[in-house]
Amino acid sequence: MQVIGAGFGRTGTRSMKAALELLGFGPCYHMSSVIAEPYRVRQWLDVGEGRSRDWDALFAGFRSALDWPASAYWRELAGHYPDAKVILTVRDPGRWYDSVRETIFRSALEQRGRPPLRRRVIRRLVAWRSPDFALYPRMARATFIDRVFDGRIDDRDHVIGVYERHIAEVRAAIPAGRLLVFEAGDGWGPLCSFLGVPVPEVPYPQVNERVAFRRKRPRRLARLILRGR
């Protein structure tokens, strides 16, 4: 592991994933890796519920890791991989909350209460065809929704407070020479300088995470139901 991402989900981690892979620090582990290979859900559930923390097995084959659930364990990963550099992706707190509330948190909030019949049917089909992925809500609660936010993801002020404290804690814990605080608008310069690599002759990746999340979710559920993955 050469690069550890300490930034929360929806802080430009999709773009950073693409950037790291262009720079030769891939494959990059991301929440999309968990979704694409549902057996990884059980691995993280074991981590979140305290049964296993075999980081080398979990990240086998990857040279970098970003986004939840990995970033919820930034402190443990920074200790386990002492030579890895740490990147803290950040963005405006209010805009970040609006983005995460409409994507990851929205999915979690939909699990509460009694959902409409259509959604209940989809859940049953997913549980039947992909029992690993059916554990995703439980895994998300165990690794970051409850662990990081005490489950209070609908409380804007609380969540933003957690976000701001997280940034301060990472800055305080990681030595300046090992840490890069990065916003997507910073571009290639600071990132390449930090990693000691040349600047590519292509623009820094710009991935609209909110749009991508909304577009991919129906296709992902359909694939799980049809293919059992």
Structural domain spans, the chain: 3-227
Residue 67 is given by DSSP the state: S
In the block, which residue shows the tokens 């990065």?
182
Predicted pLDDT at 107: 75
Q: Can you give the pTM of this predicted structure?
A: 0.86
| 203 beta partners | none
Predicted pLDDT at 106: 84
Task: For the chain of 229 residues, list the mean pLDDT of each consecutive stretch of 10.
Answer: 97 96 98 90 96 95 97 98 98 96 84 57 54 86 96 96 98 97 95 98 84 57 54
Predicted pLDDT at 133: 78
Predicted pLDDT at 36: 86
- Would you say 19 and 199 are in contact if contact means Cβ atoms under 8 Å apart? no
Domain 3-227: give its CATH code: 3.40.50.300
